[in-house]
Amino acid sequence: MPADSDKIEVENIMSPGRVYRVNRAKYEAMRAALLSVLPKAAPGLTVAEAKMALLPLLPEALFPGGDKAGWWLKAAQLDLEAKGIIARENTKPLRLHLC
């Protein structure tokens, strides 16, 4: 069974007040990659553009061949939005940028 230090609590902007415990190493790697590719101002990047830009930045040991990167991208996106670190534009497709 993983140690508590292997997990981190994340929020979800769509479910205020709830926290979820996820793998710390994967979350932190995705968070760092996402924050490094998002621009500081609107209109930002689409989620697909952000994923393409951050895939080469992810550690192969954690995301072999980009496996599960989409799920972790969404988890990091929703947590960072809940914390006010990134923002979404009301566009289709959805666009993200740093706050």
* pLDDT value of residue 4: 66
Residues of the chain with confidence (pLDDT) below 50: 1
Break the chain down into helix, strand, coil percent, rounded to 5. Answer: 45, 20, 35
pLDDT at 47: 97
For the chain, the average pLDDT equals 95
Q: Cis omega before residue 43 (within 30°)?
A: yes
Q: Which residues does 15 contact at the CB level (< 8 Å), separation at least 6?
A: none
Distance CA 12, CA 2 (A): 23
pLDDT value for 10:
97
CA 30 to CA 22: how far, in whole Å? Answer: 12
Confidence (pLDDT) at 3: 64
pLDDT value for 5: 81
Cα separation, 33 vs 51, whole angstroms: 9
